[in-house]
């Protein structure tokens, strides 16, 4: 449970002793370390700008071997995917609606896990000692006699401008750069000397997306020309990244116009002009039009052999090779033309091609799908380095591609005899796994009644009873034929129902749930939903394809489609990606919608046979 904070730093500077320490590389070097006194050890690790391939090698190796990973909302799912299966992952980000940083809990958690003898990785975006509160955590660990080490990361102060084609220093424009926090404690910027900053050629503000207008005005008042170029870079190296350029006089309005959200980095100075030259060419680190980020040309032969013996991955690879997909994609080809050539169902083939994109075998370009470099080299039968015979031998001994071939050709599902039982247990397991992450993002302390609609009713009920004992929880599962209680609720959690529902079922669920919310009530949707154009991890792509083969070729709902549906029923909406769990959509009922419209939809739903 969150505790009250006094906002005061309780820890003074801790003296460190100089001693010899043996490193993994076998060299003994002098460095400042604390006196070791605990069984476990804590690593304060910088995760860099977010993409897993921009981690340091040391950081990646620590994530792969850690017993415990403590992370916050600036860590991408692809980075966490590097962790070994048995690692304990603990989310310690800020819950929605709360301003408490939970720093005291983080400090205590690190010490507790170290005393358990664990190897703990405290994972932070950027660099842990650049506005990452890593210094405070190091002080706390030292004060409590915990052995620790600090692994640097690439700070967003440098990587975010780089991603936008902006060098923070340049011989013609800037020989000095200042890095400043844009997040002012209690709204007071008294600790920042804007007079001094106005004289520095390049100034980078971190965490300042909500203070852009204030920062720009203070810089102008301090003497910086209103015409000074400025740029704000949102979510560099993440999905949804964008760069907005203006001047000190216009950057705040431009940021509002383009809907810039955190995390974002503000750059002020003439170096912003360089972007006009560097953005012309397509750079290797630039995102592709399909929002997929891959710096490597495709899987290595070793990765292909692993894929060939991995269940659905083996089916997918075997079918693509035998159908001649890679021979057909030496030049970009639309899914329509490819379906005609392969005599396939276009919608089903598109599902398969998206999975091949996620696996890094082909890429999606505006003009169509095309082989990546190593796919052309190893997966075409007429290539002089073709691995097709060896791969097909592995595929033939490990899986049957009949169901996948039927799906691609006809778009029809193939049900297993025990599919219903397997589906039930799978949905319950995923809901139990998701429940803690969902409830970490919300605050139900002001709610009195909560309905759980869907999977994981028991798990949610137990967690809510532990965190908010005063809340009365009801639970139903419409997928099992259970009906909604005749009462209104302060909050409704729809768990795992929408991802595989038809359009009509989805609308009925949201309509009924929205209608039975009290004014100001919260509707929470947790499901396996993706944003339009978002790339996915290979294991996620294969799991989704497997469900398609079994359940048929019905298009799944995207985050945008569900959000639009919620807004239709008078709900204000926001969404958040939950690492390893899916997507969380949070919405609040407002009074700007027409109750008559909702009742009309309810009547229609009842006529058709409502899911709820």
Q: Could you give the residue numbers annotated as active site? A: 72, 94, 207
Shortest CA distance to 123 belongs to which of 67, 79, 78? 79
Q: Collect all residues with Cβ–Cβ distance below 8 Å to 381 and sequence separation of at least 6.
A: 327, 388
Structure-block tokens of residue 329: 């994609």
Residue 268 DSSP SS3: strand
Give the Cβ contact number of residue 609 at 10 Å.
9
Contact 110, 122 (CB under 8 A): yes
Beta-sheet strands, E only, within 372-415: none
DSSP-derived secondary structure letter, 63: H
What HEC string does 495-509 produce? ECCCCCCCHHHHHHH
Tokens 């403590």 locate to 70
Structure token digits, residue 298? 């495709």
CB 447 within 8 A of CB 491: yes
Q: Identify which of 33, 247, 260 has the alpha carbon closest to the alpha carbon of residue 147.
A: 33
> Which residue's structure tokens are 């009365």?
472
**HSE (CB half, 13 Å, CA atoms) of 411?**
13
User: Residue 53 class from Cβ within 10 Å (0-12 exposed, 13-18 middle, 19+ buried)?
Assistant: middle
Cβ atoms of 285 and 279 closer than 8 Å: no
Q: Is 330 in a helix, a strand, or coil?
A: coil
The rounded distance, in Å, linking the Cα atoms of 488 and 515 is 8
């Amino acid at each position: 449970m969150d505790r009250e904070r006094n906002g005061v730093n309780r820890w003074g500077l801790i003296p460190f002793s100089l001693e010899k320490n043996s490193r993994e590389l076998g060299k003994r070097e002098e460095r400042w370390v604390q006196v070791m006194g605990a069984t476990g050890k804590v690593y304060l690790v910088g995760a860099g700008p977010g993409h897993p391939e921009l981690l340091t090698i040391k950081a990646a190796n620590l994530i792969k071997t850690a017993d415990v990973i403590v992370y916050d909302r600036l860590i991408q799912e692809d980075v966490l995917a590097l962790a070994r299966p048995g690692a304990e992952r603990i989310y310690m980000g800020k819950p929605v609606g709360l301003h408490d940083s939970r720093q005291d809990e983080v400090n205590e958690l690190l010490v507790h896990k170290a005393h358990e003898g664990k190897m703990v990785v405290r994972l932070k975006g950027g660099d842990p000692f650049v506005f990452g509160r890593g210094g405070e955590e190091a002080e706390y660990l030292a004060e409590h006699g915990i052995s620790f080490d600090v692994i640097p990361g690439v700070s967003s102060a440098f990587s975010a401008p780089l991603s936008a084609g902006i060098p923070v220093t340049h011989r013609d424009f800037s020989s000095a750069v200042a890095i400043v926090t844009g997040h002012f404690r209690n709204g007071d910027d008294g600790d920042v000397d804007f007079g001094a900053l106005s004289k520095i050629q390049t100034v980078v503000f971190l965490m300042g997306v909500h203070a852009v207008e204030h920062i720009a005005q203070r810089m102008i008042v301090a003497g910086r020309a209103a015409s000074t170029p400025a740029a704000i870079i949102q979510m560099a190296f993440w999905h949804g990244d964008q760069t907005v350029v203006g001047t000190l006089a216009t950057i705040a309005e431009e940021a509002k116009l383009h809907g810039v959200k955190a995390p974002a980095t503000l750059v002020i100075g003439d170096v912003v002009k360089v972007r006009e030259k560097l953005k012309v060419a397509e750079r290797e680190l630039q995102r592709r039009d399909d929002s997929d980020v891959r710096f490597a040309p495709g899987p290595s032969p070793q990765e292909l052999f692993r894929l060939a013996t991995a269940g659905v991955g083996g089916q997918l690879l075997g079918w693509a090779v035998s159908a001649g997909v890679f021979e057909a994609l030496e030049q970009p080809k639309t899914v329509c033309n490819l379906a005609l050539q392969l005599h396939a169902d276009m919608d089903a083939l598109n599902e398969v091609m998206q999975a091949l994109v996620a696996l890094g075998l082909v890429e999606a370009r505006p003009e169509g799908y095309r082989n990546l470099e190593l796919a052309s080299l190893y997966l075409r039968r007429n290539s002089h380095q073709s691995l097709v015979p060896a791969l097909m031998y592995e595929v033939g001994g490990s899986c049957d591609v009949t169901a996948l071939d039927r799906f691609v050709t006809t778009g029809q599902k193939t049900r297993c005899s025990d599919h219903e039982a397997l589906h039930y247990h799978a949905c319950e397991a995923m809901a139990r796994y998701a429940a803690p992450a969902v409830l970490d993002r919300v605050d139900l302390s002001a709610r009195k009644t909560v309905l759980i609609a869907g999977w994981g009713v028991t798990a949610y009920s137990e967690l809510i009873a532990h965190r908010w004992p005063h809340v009365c929880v009801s639970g139903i599962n419409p997928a099992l034929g259970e009906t909604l209680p005749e009462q209104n609720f302060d909050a409704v959690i729809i768990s795992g129902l929408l991802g595989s529902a038809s359009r009509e079922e989805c609308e009925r669920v949201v309509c009924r749930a929205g209608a039975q919310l009290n004014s100001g009530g919260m509707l929470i949707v947790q499901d396996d939903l993706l944003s339009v154009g978002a790339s996915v991890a290979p294991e996620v792509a294969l799991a989704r394809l497997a469900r398609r083969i079994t359940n048929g070729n019905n298009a799944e709902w995207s985050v945008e489609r569900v959000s639009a549906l919620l807004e239709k029923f008078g709900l204000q909406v926001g969404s958040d990606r939950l690492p390893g769990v899916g997507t969380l959509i949070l919405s609040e009922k407002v009074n700007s919608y027409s109750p008559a419209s909702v009742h009309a939809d309810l009547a229609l739903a009842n006529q058709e046979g409502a899911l709820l």
